[in-house]
Structure 1
Amino acid sequence: MQIVEYKMVQFLMRLKKPYRFAESTYQTRPINILALKDELGNVGLGEVEAFQFPNYIDETQSECVRILNTRILPLLGSKKFDTPFEFSKFIDSTNGPYMARAAAEMAIWDLFAKRNGVSVQKLIMLALGRTDAVKPEVSVGVAIGIKDETSELIAEIRRQLELGYTRIKLKIKPKYTVKMLKEVRTEFPNQLMMIDCNSQYGLKDKSFFQNIDGLNFAMIEQPLAKNDFRNHAKLQAQLNTDICLDENIFNSEDIWKVINLQAGRVINMKIARVGGISNALALTTLAEKHGLKVWCGGMLETGVGRAFNLALASMPLFSFPGDISASDRYYEKDIVNEKFSIVNGKIRVPDTPGLGVSLNEFAQAKFNEIEWTKI
């Protein structure tokens, strides 16, 4: 396969209501959608999932777009690829931001699936050497942003449970007290629930985590600073609750640090953060081989990114419900025609050739305004 043209369009996604995590509040989210065209005229879509500011990891939307336009996409015309893994090896050699690489790599998986008349989900299964039937749907969970009052938080949890989500993730920050979390667990004692700290705590806060250790949370995600494996190991040694690492994980070296230091027991695998589907599969396989549990995280994606997450989360490697929301969860208007809805706690995985989604009239009109760039 050879890439002959590309185009990229930015959408300013407007959230239905402000979403708060860590020290940030989002009301709008710029997301660029990348389209790659092969020599047969097939078009594959990928999504640049970095946030506008470096408050999750250091990568930003604008920097990823700049690198794609100047360092990655112009190189594609001189290359031919026989498998998505060949492309992944090439794209990693550019040393561009992980989320820039992932956007191009997603589009390649979409293209290869279309060329072979299979879904991205099926192509991933074949790439893993699996011949068993694919899952038609996956169990999903939802992340709830930071709230000011316990009553507000409880009300929001109840709303999401009524919508059918099977797992709740609570974004928290140091202003959340042990009393507040105990009240939540008293209200929902048996609900599958976890907390996500987004690196807002230090080892000095270990008493807070020890005091919530008996509240039956499935895991505590990224309590300490980015890249701080040693203190995560110290904290994990003092807790029964599993620590899950997110912002720390980019490549196999990071997985080995978790294994060797015993810095946690769970990995949140995000396609964009690790540079694409191929890397996500390799890192997940490595982690699970050494006893770590892995699940699929989310990045407030559009329908394009959501479809990729569903394909990945449906793999036999994953069992814990991922952060994959229904189409109407976050944005006033999505960019794809397909609607993803919660039915009995699950979302259907697209099974048509390629990614299984198409740009809606609004999004396609914006794409049509921009000329293809020949490589």
Structure 2
Amino acid sequence: MQIVSYKIHQFSFKLKHSYRFADAIYRDRPINIIALKDELGNVGLGEVEAFEFPNYIDETQRRCVFSITSRIMPLLGSKVYDTPFEFARFINSTNAPYMARAAVEMAIWDLFAKRNGVSVQKLMMLAVGDSSAPDSSVAVGVAIGIKGSAAEVIKAVQRELDLGYSRIKLKVNRHYSVKMLTEIRAHFPDVLMMIDCNSQFHLRDKSFFKNIDGLNFAMIEQPLGKKDFIDHAKLQAQIHTPLCLDENIFNSEDVWKVINRHSAGFINMKLARVGGISNALALSALAVNHGLQVWCGGMLETGIGRAFNLALASLGYFQFPGDISASNRYYEKDIINGEFEIDHGKITVPQGVGLGVELNEYAQEKFAEEEWIKI
């Protein structure tokens, strides 16, 4: 397969409700969608999932798009490869931002699936040697942004439970007290619940984590620094609740650090953060084979990114419900035809050829304004 041209368009989405985590509040979400065309005229879609500002990790939408147009695409056009993994090796060699690599690689997987008449989900399964029938749906959870009081959190949690979500993640910062979390947990003692700290704490706050250790949280995600593995290991040794690492996991070296130092029990696997599907599959296998659990995280995606996440989360590596919400949770209007809806805590995985979703009329009109760029 050879890529002959591409186009990229930035969509701007207004969130239904402001979403707060760590020290950032999001009201708008710019996302660039990339389309790649092969020599047969097939078109594959990918999504740049970086945020506008470097609040989550250091990458941004603008930096990723620049890297795609100036570094990845000019070189990609001269290459002919037989598998998505060969493309992934080339893209990794460009040393572009991880989320830039992931956007291009997503589109390549969509193209390969279309050329072979299978779904992206099935292509992923074949890539990991799984010949079983694909799961038609996957269990999913939802993340709730930081609120000002326990009462607000309880109200938000109940709303999501009423919609059918069975796993809840609470975004937590330093204003959340032990008393507040105890009150929330007492209100929902049997709900599968976890907390996500987005690196807002330090090892000197270990007493806080010891005091919530008995609240039966499934895990505590990213409590300490984005580049830290040592202090996470020290904290994990002092509490029973498993830790989960997110922001500091990019490659196999990082996964090995978790394994060798016993820094956590879980890894939040975001295919955009690790540079694409091929890397996510390899890192998931490495983690699971060495006793870690992996689950699929979310990035306030459009329907394109959500479809890729559903395919990934349906694989056998992933046993814990991921952050893959219904289409209508964040945005009034998505860019795909149809919607992903929650049904008894699960969302259906697209089964059509390729990614299994198509751009809606609005998105197609926007893409029509962009010229195909030959490479």
Q: Within 1, Cα distance between the matches of 2:333 and 2:339?
A: 11
Q: Which residue of 1 aligns with 2:365?
A: 365
In structure 2, C-alpha distance between the alignment counterparts of 1:149 and 1:238, rounded to whole Å: 28
* Distance in 2 separating the partners of 1:138 and 1:62: 33
Amino acid at match of 1:344: H
Alpha-carbon separation, structure 1, partners of 2:255 and 2:344: 34
Tell me the equivalent position of 1:28.
28
**Residue in 2 aligned with 1:53?**
53
Deviation per CA, 1:106-134, whole angstroms, max 9, x where unpaired? 00000000000000000000111111111
CA distance in 2, matches of 1:251, 1:76: 22
User: Residue 113 of structure 1 aligns to which amino acid in structure 2?
Assistant: A
Residue 101 of structure 1 aligns to a residue whose secondary structure is helix
Letter aligned with residue 168 of structure 2: I
CA distance in 2 between counterparts of 1:30 and 1:62 reads 10
Q: Which amino acid aligns with 2:319?
A: S
State the AA in 1 paired with 2:278: S
d(CA) in 2 for partners of 1:44, 1:199: 35
Matched residue of 1:206: which SS?
A: helix
The CA distance in 2 between the partners of 1:342 and 1:217, in whole Å, is: 23
* CA deviation map 1:77-115 (0-9, x unaligned): 100110000000000000000000000000000000000
Q: CA deviation at 1:372?
A: 0.3
Pairwise CA distance, 1:362? 0.8
Aligned partner of 1:231: which letter? D
Quote the residue 1:182 is aligned against.
182
Counterpart of 2:63?
63
Residue segments in structure 2 that go unaligned for 5+ positions in a row: none
Question: Which residue number corresponds to residue 72 of structure 2?
Answer: 72
Residues 119-161 of structure 1, C-alpha deviations (whole Å, 9 max, x = no match): 0000000111111111000000000000001111100000000
Q: Which runs of 5+ in 1 are unaligned?
A: none
- TM-score, normalising length from structure 1? 1.00
Q: Which residue of 1 aligns with 2:202?
A: 202
Once the two structures are superposed, residues 282-326 of structure 1 have per-residue CA deviations (whole angstroms, 9 ceiling, x without a partner) of 000000111000000000000000000000000011110000010
Secondary structure at 1:354 match in 2: coil
**Counterpart residue number, 1:247:** 247
Residue equivalent to 2:10: 10
| Residue 116 of structure 2 is aligned to residue 116 of structure 1 | yes
Q: 1:131 aligned to 2:131?
A: yes
Give, in whole Å, the separation in 2 of the partners of 1:282 and 1:13: 32
Query: Aligned to 1:78, what secondary structure does the other structure show?
Result: coil
Counterpart CA distance in 1 for 2:102 and 2:52 is 17
SS of aligned partner of 1:254: helix
- Counterparts of 1:117-266 in structure 2 under 5 Å? 117-266=117-266
User: What is the aligned partner in structure 2 of residue 276 from structure 1?
Assistant: 276
User: How far apart are residue 76 of structure 1 and its match?
Assistant: 1.3
Instruction: Give deviations 1:226-246, integer Å, cap 9, x for gaps.
Output: 111000000000010000000
Question: What is the rounded CA distance, in whole Å, between the counterparts of 2:370 and 2:55 in structure 1?
Answer: 30
Offset of residue 330 of structure 1: 0.4
Correspondence 1:304 to 2:304: yes
Rounded Cα–Cα distance in structure 1 between residues aligned with 2:339 and 2:50: 23
Looking at structure 2, the residues matched to 166 and 121 of structure 1 have their Cα atoms a distance apart, in angstroms, of 24
Aligned twin of 2:294: 294
Aligned residues: 375
Aligned-partner residue type, residue 203 of structure 2: L
Once residues 371 and 265 of structure 2 are traced to their aligned partners in structure 1, the CA distance between those partners, rounded to angstroms, is 47
Residues of 2 paired with 1:317 and 1:292: CA distance? 10
TM value normalised by structure 2:
1.00
Q: Partners in 2 of 1:338 and 1:293 — Cα distance?
A: 32
Instruction: Tell me, in whole angstroms, the C-alpha distance in 1 between the residues paired with 2:319 and 2:149.
Output: 32
Residue number in structure 2 paired with 1:19: 19
The range that moved more, 124-133 or 97-106, is 124-133
Q: Structure 1 CA distance, aligned partners of 2:199 and 2:294? A: 19
Per-residue CA deviation, residues 171-214 of structure 1 (Å, 9 max, x unaligned), is 00000000000001100001000000000000011000000000
Give the whole-Å Cα distance in 1 for the aligned partners of 2:220 and 2:129: 33
Aligned to 1:331: 331
Q: How far off its partner does 1:74 sit?
A: 1.0
The whole-number CA distance in structure 1 between the counterparts of 2:8 and 2:338 is 21
Separation in 1 of the partners of 2:338 and 2:119?
A: 15
Deviation sequence 1:237-274 (CA, Å, 0-9, x none):
00100000000100000000001111111000000000
How far apart are the structure 1 equivalents of 2:77 and 2:282? Answer: 27
Aligned ranges 1:61-100 → 2 under 5 Å: 61-100=61-100
Specify the SS of the correspondent of 1:37: strand
| Structure 2 SS opposite 1:294 | strand
Q: Tell me the secondary structure at the aligned position of residue 271 of structure 1.
A: coil
Question: SS in structure 2 opposite 1:16?
Answer: strand
Q: Return structure 1 stretches of 4+ with deviation > 3 angstroms.
A: none
Following superposition, the deviation at residue 338 of structure 1 comes to 2.3
CA distance in 2, matches of 1:22, 1:279: 27
